Structure 1
Amino acid sequence: AFLRSGVEMQARFGRYPGAVERSVAIADEIGFDLQKARPRLPVQAPEGHTPMSWLRELVRLGADERYAHNREEAEERLQRELKVIEEKDFPGYFLIVHGIVAFAREQGILCQGRGSSANSAVCYALKITAIDSIYYDLPFERFLAATREEEPDIDVDFDSDRREEVIQWVYDTYGRRNAAQVANVIQYRPRSAVRDAAKALGYSPGQQDAWSKGIERWGAIHPDDVESSGIPKAVVALAASFLGAPRHLGIHSGGMVLTERPVGEVCPIERARMDDRTVLQWDKDASAWMGLVKFDLLGLGMLGALQHTFDLVKQHLGEEWSLDTMPKEEAGVYDMLCKADSIGVFQVESRAQIGTLPRLQPRCFYDLAIEIALIRPGPIQGGAVHPYIRRATGVDPVTYPHPVLEPVLRRTKGVPLFQEQLMQMAIAIGDCTPDEADLLRRAMGSKRGLERIETLREKLFAGMAKHGIVGEEADAIYVRIQSFANFGFAESHALSFALLVYASSWLKLHFPAAFCAALLRNQPMGFYSPQSLVADARRHGVVTRRPCIQASQAQADLEALDGAVRTTGLDSCVETQPQVPRFDRRARHSLEDHRRDGALAIRMGLTDVKGIGADVAARRRSCR
């Protein structure tokens, strides 16, 4: 099948004068803009409430709890955010996310909103996020600005073991005809292109695999690889024509679309290979163009590991802990991190992070956010890592580009690290509005970021001139702002992840056996193999026992060392914490004082044996 050209159509219908011309006129009359079929969200509000009034009520109830200590201060910020949400007609979006998170919490499923949503006090009041944007002075416009037409983007992480429960609840609540997951269009890469080209030309499966393994996974098909692998020219030529073309549809990692009317009336859908799932035949970009609203329900392995740790501690020691009840700002946690003892800890276990921790010497929660943000390609390439560390450790003095910028850059020692700081700098010295600052921020993430930033140059320089910043001083500040087109990390994202850094560090310090067993249950995850995690646990005095056909559970578990289970360590370590002092490398840091599961050993699970899967392990356990 193919489309005939205009010349071919004229020749084919030459005996019917004017037919082709009239077909164009008819097409113009019956054509319509597909985007006008944009569906509405399936908003659910109690009787007597509009979506907006119900959102205001939920925010009021949440704010009474979360902002009890500064209710009046928070009210102004909340009302400003709610006004923007109402003007943009976004209340339904927030209500749906709130409902999903509320269900997860009711079922005991660990979850946490992250990313730019942590810039919103409304999200904090609704318990979607755990970061107080008012306390950290995070700009709401980083999350939702009046200049944005699309819905805000709220990413919510769930315990990866139980995320499917949340997905199925969404299907059941909103109807399978009104919910679907977004597709990923998987494109041909060199290896898959060579394999399929060889298959099309009749070569054996073994030969297909051999040739594909000799090719780089990404990029182009290099002549050197072709020559060394002995791939026929016909296969190479055919494979080269495949590169970048769609191969098949996959499922987006967490994107779900909800519509008021059946989603199949808007775009084609199909059943997924996984049971009880429906998938769009469009990817996220096509869905966004159509106006379909995507909800990101992501699975995070560390949340699963934390939940397993809490469960193991409760089961074997009778202590019940949660993210909300564990002591905050414990000196022992920061001492452990200052010694680079972070294998298995969320986000700070890479070699680069391990090398930075002793230099940065984190002593408070915000230092953890800095640590996460520093070891990123952008700050490293932008030369921000060493200046910050030297200032933080007192080697270099803290200076600011201009006194007006001191309130903006004080927390990062005068070194701009975060996207939010760029926005605040533009507001402080450039007289930009928050919405204009958001335009600047979005330019940073664009491939044409430098060009877009240039459009605000006059505005920035005029504002700086009002503050007496001219000449080389103004140019130097502008260069700093311009550099954010190449790097810049979201402060809200770093703070959200810092919560999990602290939680995983606290559990590793106090319950190393339970924490290691939980990590083993959630493999693969992180940088290290199970062997490395077990070796690290042994260095911390944890006894690990081999899998046993009689004693092992399906997954790694804990068992008593000598038949008597008791809590070890000092109770004072998990009680009210004194102020964290400066780190003293020469001081005694006893792990035994902190460890509370010292009477327990790890028993490796049956699934830790190569070749034994979860189904076989479960059947073997049931036969005892």
Structure 2
Amino acid sequence: MYLNNHSYYSLRYGTISEVELLAMAKEQGCERFALTDINNTSACLNFIRRAPEFGITPVVGIDFRNSAKQLYVCLAKNNEGFLELNSFLSKHLHDGSDFPDVAPSFAHGIVIYPYERLLELDKYYFGEQEYIGVGIRDINKLRFSKLSKYREKLVFLHTISFRNKRDFNTHRLLRAIDTNMLLSKLPKSQQGNLDDKMVPLTTIEQVFAEHPHILNNTGQVLGSCGIHFDFSKERQNQNLKTVFGNSSEDCETLINLCEAALPKRYEVVGETIRKRLHKELSLIRKQGFVSFFLINWKIVEYAKSQGYYHVGRGSGANSIVAYLLGITDVDPIELDLYFERFMNLYRSSPPDFDIDFSTWDREDVTRFIFEEFGNQGQAALLGAYVTFKHSGAVRELGKVFGLPKHEIDRLSDGRFNPNALDDIAKLVLRYASYLRGRPNYLSIHAAGILISDSPIHYFSATHLPPKGFPTVQFDMHTAEDVGLYKFDILGQRGLGKIKDALAIVEQNYPNVTLPDIHNAKPLFKDPNINAMIERAECIGCFYVESPAMRMLLKKLGVNNYLALVAASSIIRPGVAKSGMMREYILRHKNAGRRKQAHPVMWDIMPDTYGVMVYQEDVIKVAHYFAGLDLGEADVLRRGMSGKYRSREEFQAVKAKFISNCRERGETDEVIFEVWRQIESFAGYAFAKGHSASYAVESYQSMFLKCYYPMEYMVATINNGGGFYRVETYIHEARKHGARIHPPCINRSAIETIIKGKDIFLGFQHLQGLEKRTMIAIVEVRVNGKFHSLEDFIERVPLGIEQLDILIRIDTFKCLGKEKRSLLWQAHYAYNNMTVHREQQPLFKVQHRHFTLPKFTVTDLENAFDQMELLKFTLCDPFLLLEKPPTNKLLSMNLASHLDKEVMIYGYLVTAKNTSTHKGDAMYFGTFLDQAGEWIDTVHFPPVAKSYPFRGKGIYRITGKVVSEFGFLSIEVAKQERMAYIPDPRYNSRMDSLPMTS
């Protein structure tokens, strides 16, 4: 009987989850029940999936509204009708237009007009699929209306949006948030009705006792609607089925591509390679994933044709087919990658391919995908839900209640005394707790693209975010449930660095022939690169430059590719959290320690000393240690993170894991310790092939850092850096012999450039300098360098504030004049200028020339200008201390002070905050000493509380030198940020000086 029912995916309107609606329907004894969210189909697929659990046949549709004004409710009679409704909704969501007053004629969709709405429209003609919706409030009016004669068109239409008064209050708050209004100002037209609750069927029957035909019509309408999607484990893959027209041609193409690539990838194609390839191709064909591999191949081939660099990773990197197709550069034979991690007969989903491109190239690759595979409406970005978090909900509610900002801040940050709160503040906190976790608005998955065999609107409506590509209204879990598997296309700065560095090297060394960086195997054997890794001199290099990774490389003594593959996964938070990172290091360094490994675990994972390091280790342990089949093992792996963990199949597999181990004679102590390790790290660990892909990119970047460090640092700076700030990479370039110059008016570009050993910082680093100013300088300079300040002023239209920035950072130094004279000259010129600066003068303006006294600008003044305009200084920061360091202890001397207390000066680079297992805050600090070398510090909770970090600058650190696995750090007992000298630009009196002509 219920035709119009809203879940909380009627965003910022509804208050009930789709599953709660099903439970309510079951309680009323419904056999069929409709979900009709407002201008949204996010919940439909999950509603259809879950409905059988409640003994309900699902019906889906859409409540079409302009703002909050209801126009008509539409129901899909079948899957084709759902496609029609989604297409209609999507058209208007894409172009932002209002829905028409009268719905189109749907071939497979039912349209129900609310009674009051029909009176407004004065509509008295109804097509075959059109109906008149009569509510409880309308029944007494009906007998006096012309509409009463359309007996066969009358149906019961009642909206369900709430369960109770609290839901209604929540709804009103959501409407105020959505309309950006104070709750007290929210008009009735923007709200639902308190009566929009589930009315018992017995009450409905009583109200319509004199109009049984209305309820009969309603039942017939519901009975004519149905929809089916396959959510079973045996469901078909819904991705695009063929790339070259038919399955046979696809299979033949895949085989031919692999055969052609074998001699390019392997010097000797032995039996092991042949067997692995045959096994993979057979299973890929049997599982129906041929097109999945070919689509990824086409994406990568397009990227290569455009000169774009990529990295293929994910579980698909365990595949020799992916290696031969060039999707990845990881050799699964060399690494003995576990085939069953990415594909097995029990796994219904295809392997994961995360394909990284540089941020700049990614947009064009996405465009290619939509043009190549989406011309029939078969491609869309994957959606994601942004849910209400406590802090955000408090801020939104605080605004609609009209609280002042300082009160909202206090409530949001939790800085309040609960006993001192007034009633409004208590309401804000109470309703914030109701909103927490509910969907707030639709967003975009970070990387996922869907390419379906059917039009994408067969599954969902789409909206059009700023990226400009259609985006489905459901998330990745729902997509997988229905058999749609995403293609992950990501942006990554590291690839931009590699691509740009190679181009810069070719410019700076035109006679050098660079190796093919995609062939990484020779790099793995390069002794210079491996020695650099062992010393952890990897600043700027992908994934290996952070303090934590630098520490791990030294502790493990990593000096080869395979060891780096392991390190790339060990560093992940899950392995560290489980305590197994430390255990791995202990077993790596001490053969005697390896005897503590469980025999079965040792047999499963001998390469990692019986320690779970990679994602596939979960599958191995579940399969060999607990006796689960490969499908159950994969359910266990997937269930270790996110939404999937609460699913019934995961809980069933967990129970079987425990019972199987008990049957095999394992003690509960061992079982639950193994389970603890699985649970704590599986959702955060990498697949081995994924780690190997990262290690390949690390080697590519380390090759450039090793042999062309200055050029590589320039590329790093131009691509937004990495883990550290720009000044750290400038420091690193200087350590390798670079001469660093501030931006130069005649040599610099928008980005940083290098000529020989001279690095000229780009205009983009100047705080406050507008993009249009940078572009104007570079474009005008094409016609010739600037010869004087007057020449610059005449040729480049800009305001005095912009010119002031350029002069103070010394961009005009190449003209041979110090900047104080130039400032006098610039301000005089602008004070006497009558031409509007946004237009070029028609005639050359003659300037009077003055003789100025000789000014002196100190290096300290330059340093403070640089700190203001670049946010860092190009000089040694230790020269800026008010009181020079009282000692010269350096990082290189710490080994001779092991277990002793020292005092050392360090320039803060970064500080990582973390917490102990008790939740107390602590820090790991990274500093540069007076010689520019690294100091690593540990700040345990008492010290972290008593001596907190107070921003950038130089700290005097007192603490004990400790060593763990050969890695030296200081356990800090006390630290103090040292004062800089007073800013000399404002510290001395600068009288105005007379000018003489």
TM-score range relative to shorter protein: 0.7 to 0.9
Q: Is structure 2 residue 526 aligned with structure 1 residue 347?
A: no
In the TM superposition, what are the counterparts of 1:269-280 in structure 2 within 5 Å?
269-274=462-467, 276-280=468-472
Indicate which of 514, 517, 528 corresponds to 1:323: 517
- Matched residue, 1:268: 461
Indicate which of 156, 159, 168 corresponds to 2:355: 156
Distance in 1 separating the partners of 2:671 and 2:529? 37
- Matched residue, 2:445: 252
Q: Is structure 2 residue 400 aligned with structure 1 residue 200?
A: yes
Question: Structure 1 residues 230, 336: closer, same or farther in 2, change over 3 A?
Answer: farther
Q: Is structure 2 residue 258 aligned with structure 1 residue 59?
A: yes
- Matched residue, 1:117: 316
- Matched residue, 1:45: 244
**Is the CA contact (8 Å cut-off) linking 1:183 and 1:283 kept in structure 2?**
yes
1:236-268 Cα offsets, whole Å, 9 max, x none, are 455444433333222221111123443234321
Deviation at 1:98, TM superposition (A): 1.1
- Matched residue, 1:485: 679
SS at match of 2:679: coil
Distance in 2 separating the partners of 1:364 and 1:537? 25
Q: Is structure 2 residue 209 aligned with structure 1 residue 14?
A: yes
SS at match of 1:305: helix
One-letter amino acid of the counterpart of residue 351, structure 1:
P
Distance in 1 separating the partners of 2:585 and 2:578? 14
SS at match of 1:297: strand
- Matched residue, 2:709: 512
- Matched residue, 1:382: 578
Unaligned residue ranges in structure 2 (runs of 5+): 1-69, 71-158, 161-197, 782-997
Distance in 2 separating the partners of 1:608 and 1:94? 42
Distance in 1 separating the partners of 2:525 and 2:420? 59
**Is the CA contact (8 Å cut-off) linking 1:155 and 1:296 kept in structure 2?**
yes
Higher relative contact order (CA 8 A, sep 6+): 1
Question: Structure 1 residues 412, 152: closer, same or farther in 2, change over 3 A?
Answer: closer
Distance in 2 separating the partners of 1:47 and 1:211? 64
Q: Is structure 2 residue 506 aligned with structure 1 residue 314?
A: yes
SS at match of 1:347: coil
1:282-324 Cα offsets, whole Å, 9 max, x none, are 3323333343332111111111111111111112112334423
Distance in 1 separating the partners of 2:257 and 2:725? 44
- Matched residue, 1:27: 222
Distance in 2 separating the partners of 1:613 and 1:504? 32
One-letter amino acid of the counterpart of residue 447, structure 1:
R
Question: Structure 1 residues 272, 430: closer, same or farther in 2, change over 3 A?
Answer: closer
- Matched residue, 1:591: none
Distance in 2 separating the partners of 1:38 and 1:147? 14
- Matched residue, 2:594: 398
In the TM superposition, what are the counterparts of 1:36-435 in structure 2 within 5 Å?
40-41=239-240, 43-45=242-244, 49-176=248-375, 177-202=377-402, 207-208=404-405, 213-214=409-410, 223=416, 232-233=425-426, 235-237=428-430, 239-274=432-467, 276-318=468-510, 319=512, 320-325=514-519, 327-394=523-590, 396-399=592-595, 401=597, 406=602, 408-425=604-621, 434-435=630-631
In terms of fraction of residues, the more strand-rich structure is: 2
- Name the stretch that deviates more: 354-363 or 223-232: 223-232
One-letter amino acid of the counterpart of residue 412, structure 1:
T
- Name the stretch that deviates more: 261-270 or 74-83: 261-270
Deviation at 1:100, TM superposition (A): 0.5
Distance in 2 separating the partners of 1:226 and 1:116? 53
Distance in 1 separating the partners of 2:427 and 2:600? 66
Question: Structure 1 residues 404, 261: closer, same or farther in 2, change over 3 A?
Answer: closer
Q: What TM-score comes out, normalization by structure 1 length?
A: 0.81
1:438-493 Cα offsets, whole Å, 9 max, x none, are 4554454563667624403455566x6xxxxx566x97478436621322422222
- Matched residue, 1:585: none
**Is the CA contact (8 Å cut-off) linking 2:717 and 2:752 kept in structure 1?**
yes
In terms of fraction of residues, the more helix-rich structure is: 1
Deviation at 1:97, TM superposition (A): 1.0
Q: Is structure 2 residue 656 aligned with structure 1 residue 455?
A: yes
Question: Structure 1 residues 215, 120: closer, same or farther in 2, change over 3 A?
Answer: farther
**Is the CA contact (8 Å cut-off) linking 1:138 and 1:420 kept in structure 2?**
no
Instruction: Give the RMSD, CA atoms, in angstroms.
Output: 3.4
Question: Structure 1 residues 115, 28: closer, same or farther in 2, change over 3 A?
Answer: same
- Name the stretch that deviates more: 47-56 or 246-255: 47-56
Distance in 2 separating the partners of 1:23 and 1:216? 48
Deviation at 1:345, TM superposition (A): 2.2
Deviation at 1:413, TM superposition (A): 3.2
Question: Structure 1 residues 539, 142: closer, same or farther in 2, change over 3 A?
Answer: same
- Name the stretch that deviates more: 546-555 or 68-77: 68-77
One-letter amino acid of the counterpart of residue 292, structure 2:
Y
- Matched residue, 1:563: none
- Matched residue, 2:697: 500
Distance in 2 separating the partners of 1:530 and 1:216? 33
**Is the CA contact (8 Å cut-off) linking 1:546 and 1:603 kept in structure 2?**
yes
- Matched residue, 1:596: none
Distance in 1 separating the partners of 2:669 and 2:402? 63
Deviation at 1:511, TM superposition (A): 1.6
- Count matched residues: 569
Question: Structure 1 residues 429, 288: closer, same or farther in 2, change over 3 A?
Answer: closer
Question: Structure 1 residues 267, 426: closer, same or farther in 2, change over 3 A?
Answer: closer
In the TM superposition, what are the counterparts of 1:460-609 in structure 2 within 5 Å?
476=670, 479-480=673-674, 483-488=677-682, 489=685, 490-523=687-720, 525-560=721-756, 600-609=757-766
**Is the CA contact (8 Å cut-off) linking 1:305 and 1:518 kept in structure 2?**
yes
Unaligned residue ranges in structure 1 (runs of 5+): 465-469, 561-599
**Is the CA contact (8 Å cut-off) linking 2:730 and 2:740 kept in structure 1?**
yes
Distance in 1 separating the partners of 2:419 and 2:301? 55
One-letter amino acid of the counterpart of residue 601, structure 1:
D
- Name the stretch that deviates more: 375-384 or 122-131: 375-384
**Is the CA contact (8 Å cut-off) linking 1:422 and 1:481 kept in structure 2?**
no
Distance in 2 separating the partners of 1:38 and 1:375? 35
Identity of aligned residues (%): 26
Question: Structure 1 residues 167, 342: closer, same or farther in 2, change over 3 A?
Answer: same
- Matched residue, 1:565: none
One-letter amino acid of the counterpart of residue 495, structure 1:
A
Deviation at 1:517, TM superposition (A): 1.1
Deviation at 1:527, TM superposition (A): 2.3
Distance in 2 separating the partners of 1:184 and 1:329? 43
One-letter amino acid of the counterpart of residue 82, structure 1:
L
SS at match of 2:446: strand
Q: What TM-score comes out, normalization by structure 2 length?
A: 0.52
Question: Structure 1 residues 233, 549: closer, same or farther in 2, change over 3 A?
Answer: farther
Deviation at 1:201, TM superposition (A): 3.8
Deviation at 1:167, TM superposition (A): 0.5
Deviation at 1:412, TM superposition (A): 1.8
Deviation at 1:554, TM superposition (A): 1.2
Deviation at 1:535, TM superposition (A): 2.2
Distance in 2 separating the partners of 1:485 and 1:240? 28
Deviation at 1:109, TM superposition (A): 0.8
**Is the CA contact (8 Å cut-off) linking 1:40 and 1:260 kept in structure 2?**
yes
1:570-603 Cα offsets, whole Å, 9 max, x none, are xxxxxxxxxxxxxxxxxxxxxxxxxxxxxx2321
Asked which structure has the greater CA Rg, the reply is: 2
